[in-house]
Amino acid sequence: MGRYLRLLAVQFRASAAVAMQYRVEFLVEGALALFWTGWSLVPLLVVYGSREAVAGWSFDEALVVMGWFTLMKGVLEGAVNPSLTTVVEHIRKGTLDFVLLKPADAQFLVSTAKFEPWRIIDVLGGLVIFAVAFHRMGRLPEAGGVLAACLLFAAATVILYSLWIIVVAAAFFVVKVDNLSFLFVSIYDAARWPASVFRGALRVIFTFVVPLAVMTTFPAEALLGRLAPPRALLIAAGAVAFAGLARAVWLRSISRYTSASS
């Protein structure tokens, strides 16, 4: 465990060094991340401009969902997406051999190969949105709600990562999966809205198939003190099961991999 933590620190330092190598680009990317964080609030302001609530969610409560969306977007685009998109190129060019030959777990190596440090602005932006939302509501989240929200944040990160592993594993069978990754990112955009906004099949899909509700709506409910503790534990158990499924899919995919030299 300690060995992998040290390896993770090395991978992160390498990504930070590469990002800081071109300082102007680093600052521009940081400024763009800040701009898009603010821009993501526009749809919410438009929708709530003429009504008090949508699907039982007031503007301030919807801000909490938006905070989780922004925070998880930082995790997705800063830690999950950069590394796993390079796996597709490795498979296509046959260079995954160099990863498989290293004396460490291949899934860990490909999952920590690259980070985008300026995406920390999205994470901080999510925390600022939380502060604004609870300031407008005139109260603070309860300690139990914060603990449940932290648990669900970990569960949401695991589910997000596991979904990406399953998507990337498709590259072992179908080389051209770029559009699939774009589709996933586009679908994630729906997570900015509370799950109760969606009806019928879309609500089922966003809760159980692509569990966007677990990533933003349920953590927001926990922070607002609406989510019962047993439900939070059930979601955490589901995240562990999802991670197990992703691990099984990855190992199955690796077993079918043949390099470019084969």
How is the chain split into domains, by residue range?
1-255
Listed in sequence order, the DSSP H helices in 138-177 are: 143-169
What pLDDT, on a 0 to 100 scale, did the predictor assign at position 247?
A: 93
The pTM for the full model equals 0.84
What pLDDT, on a 0 to 100 scale, did the predictor assign at position 74?
A: 87
Burial code (b: 16+ CB inside 10 Å, e: under 16) for 197-223 equals bbeeeeeebbbeebbbbbbbbbbbbbb
Instruction: Give mean pLDDT in consecutive 10-residue pieces for the chain, a chain of 262 residues.
Output: 82 81 76 80 84 86 91 86 79 78 85 84 89 92 90 90 85 69 75 83 77 87 88 90 92 77 54
What pLDDT, on a 0 to 100 scale, did the predictor assign at position 262?
A: 52
What pLDDT, on a 0 to 100 scale, did the predictor assign at position 260?
A: 56
What pLDDT, on a 0 to 100 scale, did the predictor assign at position 181?
A: 66
What pLDDT, on a 0 to 100 scale, did the predictor assign at position 65?
A: 92
How many angstroms separate the CA atoms of 247 and 236, rounded?
17
